[in-house]
Amino acid sequence: MALVLKQINVEGLAQLSYIVGDDKAGLAVIIDPRRDIDIYLQRARDLRVKIIGSIETHIHADFVSGSHELKARMNVPIYGAKTDNYQFELNQLQEGDEIKIGSVTLRAVHTPGHTPEHISLLIYDSNQGKEPFGLFTGDTLFNLDVGRPDLLGGGSEKQLAKQLYHSLFEKILPLGDRLEVYPCHGAGSSCGKSIGDRRQSTIGNERLFNPALKERSPEEFVEWILSEMPEPPRHYARLKKVNGKGAPIKGCPPTLQPLTPTAFQEKMQEENTVIIDARSILAFGGGHIPGAINIALRPQFPNWVGWMIDPKQFLLVVVESERDVKLVAEQLFRIGYDNLAGYLHDGMTSWQNAGLPLQHLGEWTVQELNQHKDEANVTILDVRGDDEYQQGYIPGAEHIFVAHLEENLAQLDKNQAIATYCGSGYRASIAASLLQKHGFETTINIPGSWKAWKAAKLPIQHPEKSELVSA
């Protein structure tokens, strides 16, 4: 065997990186590495290959690149597209440039659209003939989706959408249906509108089933791709700058230090400090530290930390069990949260045994919400995205997307009971905890939220209709 091609998935970010090389020659490169690089070093040892470089398909917006960590640890070059937006030493790749790794060759293809500098990489194996067998597409082409062209903002959206059309229809599709597609993201990433579940595909499969590759004129494609585009997460613009400049070298994820309840309470009082309670929404509702924000440790955890928390703040963390501490630190490290002040040792058990204050969050079933929804002292707050809200909502609900809740608190009455709901209860718990932190005394989360409401076949209202319909 000679070809090495290993895909590594980052849970929580749905980010895909690759070890590519030739084990006979004992050489490999890493494509789009994540920030915590030990996994690449371990895999390289297992495969008996030497890492000789890393390649960036583009300036990433959703995670901190690990290229600089690899360079610092292994003294290897960084390769990437030719652009002035990289503010560090880079081996620049233009259309047609090649990197040879034993019997394996990677050839750059300029595929702008998601970003102006974006490159994809054709892969050749001389043991399998002279034609390429696959394409590392970065954020240009995913399973059932394509990269969004709106992340740069500043009026560049239409121009990038036009470039994306030409990259897809004039560069990628003509390569032939048999080519395998190795994207930078799977389902769950916000780098596309709605990325499919498969982490590997073929051009032929995408030609058949990817809605973005339906036959359209360039003008029709631009209109389609930019319509109903969800708002990009808040941390994307920041991470673009971090990766363009080059992330600071840390060596490894920071170690979260255990704090006694007394030490934790003292840290809470320090300026610019926030508490993230990463326990489940039901555990949080049962009892939590006053002022904590509930962002449960599920796959979407890093994305919602990015939405809701300023990285300049110092983070105190509460977890369900000690085994979650390492995972929290890794997830935060991957999106550039380095100011970790510590975690509560022995969790909420130690806090309650110390006799320290507790807050509780109300919880209603959807049936209870239905019973209370017409009461004068109850406000129902839909905290889903605009696109979700437009598909239907609970009758009488007000709407504020959770990511914009803090700047719109004046729209809500603190004398009202506020019942928050989202798609499943996850974002609703973030919202309810945030309201409580800002002095709303009666806040209620709805576990199951919209999913449970529809399952119970309770009435639904649509923005364009005045009448109610059954779920």
pLDDT bracket for residue 19 (50, 70, 90): very high
**Tell me, what's the pLDDT at 154?**
86
Higher pLDDT among residues 94 and 469, named by residue = 94
Distance, CA of 102 to CA of 323 (rounded, Å): 41
Quick one: residue 320, left, alpha or beta (phi over 0 = left, psi -120 to 50 = alpha)? alpha
Chain segment 335-349, per-residue pLDDT in tens: 999 999 999 999 999
Distance, CA of 450 to CA of 444 (rounded, Å): 15
Closest CA to 370 of 301, 458, 294: 458
Average pLDDT over residues 151-155: 88
Pairing mode, strands 273-277 and 314-318 = parallel
Domain ranges of the chain: 4-245, 258-354, 362-456
With a cut of 70, say whether residue 177 has pLDDT above it.
yes
Helices (H) and strands (E) in the chain, counts: 15, 24
With a cut of 70, say whether residue 466 has pLDDT above it.
no
- Report, at the CATH architecture level, how domain 4-245 is classified: 4-Layer Sandwich (3.60)
The residues annotated as belonging to the active site are: 422
Average pLDDT over residues 170-178: 98
Asked whether this chain's domains 258-354 and 362-456 adopt the same fold, the reply is yes
Tell me which CATH homologous superfamily contains domain 362-456: Rhodanese-like domain (3.40.250.10)
Distance, CA of 214 to CA of 342 (rounded, Å): 50
Tokens standing for 210?
């990817």
Chain segment 392-451, per-residue pLDDT in tens: 999 999 999 999 999 999 999 999 999 999 999 999 999 999 999 999 999 999 999 999
Chain segment 278-296, per-residue pLDDT in tens: 999 999 999 999 999 999 9
Tell me which CATH homologous superfamily contains domain 258-354: Rhodanese-like domain (3.40.250.10)
pLDDT bracket for residue 11 (50, 70, 90): confident
**Tell me, what's the pLDDT at 175?**
98
Chain segment 68-110, per-residue pLDDT in tens: 999 999 999 999 998 888 999 999 999 999 999 999 999 999 9
**Tell me, what's the pLDDT at 335?**
97
pLDDT bracket for residue 233 (50, 70, 90): very high
* pTM reported for the whole predicted model: 0.92
**Tell me, what's the pLDDT at 279?**
98
Distance, CA of 242 to CA of 47 (rounded, Å): 31
Q: What percentage of the chain carries pLDDT values higher than 90?
A: 91
**Tell me, what's the pLDDT at 467?**
53
